Every structure is written in structure tokens, then in C-alpha cells.
Amino acid sequence: MCMVADMENIERDTTASEARRALESIESAQLAVRNTPWPAWIYPVNAALLGALALSALVEQDRRTMVFAVMALIIGINVYAGYRTGVPSAMPTSRAFVALVATSGACAAAAFVVAEITAAAWPVVVLAALATAGYLIGGRVHRASTGARS
């Protein structure tokens, strides 16, 4: 009963400008969560692991085990870093970072397709280098977007 009365009161008393300010504060709170800086070490580690993932396309024996091990390492390290920062599952706002991570992942995936098509190792190495470089550039972009000092 008291709760209903409270609701009626705040609805009557909340003006449009107050509601607008409340919506703005929601947006800034959400941006603050999404732009929480990541630890600096996570970028080179992820970049190296993406490169390793691409290079595992060259492995002839136990390739599947190698791929799963590297993927498990990537997931495990990122979950650990997320829990250390206290913000484990927020999507970064930087579209450039997300696009570069997606591109790096695509390069790693392409390495496996290329390894099936050709016996030459260099295209896989080039794709691994692109995956690593793409993630490192993305890391700089992300760090700048979160306002963290590089």
C-alpha cells in the first residue's frame, strides 16, 4: 500500500527534465562500465595467443588438441583478467577495437583454410602476423578509448 503511494508520488513529482537527467545518468553509468580500463598486459598476451592460434594451423600432429589448448588459454586468461578488474563481462564501446579484434580472429580462422589449400607455410605465417598486429593495434585503440595511460 505504502509502495503504491510512493510510486504515485514519484510519478507525479518527476518532471521531464528530471527524467531526462536520470536517463543521462543511466547512459553515463553504462559507458563507465563498458569503458573500464583493462590491464595493460592483456593486449600483448591476447595478440601472441591469436598468433599462436593461427600458427597452430601448421601443426600436422595433434592439431585439434593444440587448437583447443590455445583457445582454452585465451578464454581462461580473459576471464581471469575480467574478474581481476571487477567487470568481467561488459562489451567495450570502441567499435574500432571490436572491428580489429574481429579482423584478427578472421585472420586466425583464415590461416586454417589456407593451410588446407596450400602446402606453403608463409601464407599462414603472414596471417598469424596480421592477427597479432591487428590485435595489438586494437589494443592501443581500446586503451585510448578507456582513457588509460599507455
Partner 1 sequence: MTAALDPVIHPTHRLRICAMLATGTTLELSAIKELLDLSPSALSKQVAALVEAGYVKQERPGTDSRRVWLTLTRQGAKAYRGHVAALQEIVASVPTEA
Helix (H/G/I), strand (E/B), else coil: 90: coil
Distance CA 111, CA 95 (A): 24
Report residue 29 as a C-alpha cell. Answer: 553509468
3 or 119: CB nearest partner 1:
3
| Residue count, binding to partner 1 (CB under 8 A) | 27
Span 57-86, contacts to partner 1 by CB under 8 A: 83, 85-86
- Which among 18-26, 40-48, 52-60, 109-117 is the span making contact with partner 1, rule CB under 8 A? 18-26
CA–CA separation, 5 and 7 (whole Å): 5
Q: According to CB under 8 A, which one of 6, 44, 113, 140 is a site residue for partner 1?
A: 6
Q: How far is CA 104 from CA 25, 57, 92, 130, in A?
A: 34, 15, 16, 7
User: Of 81-140, which residues contact partner 1 (CB under 8 A)?
Assistant: 83, 85-90
Chain positions contacting partner 1, by CB under 8 A:
3, 6-7, 10-11, 14-16, 19-20, 22-23, 25-26, 29-30, 32-34, 36, 83, 85-90
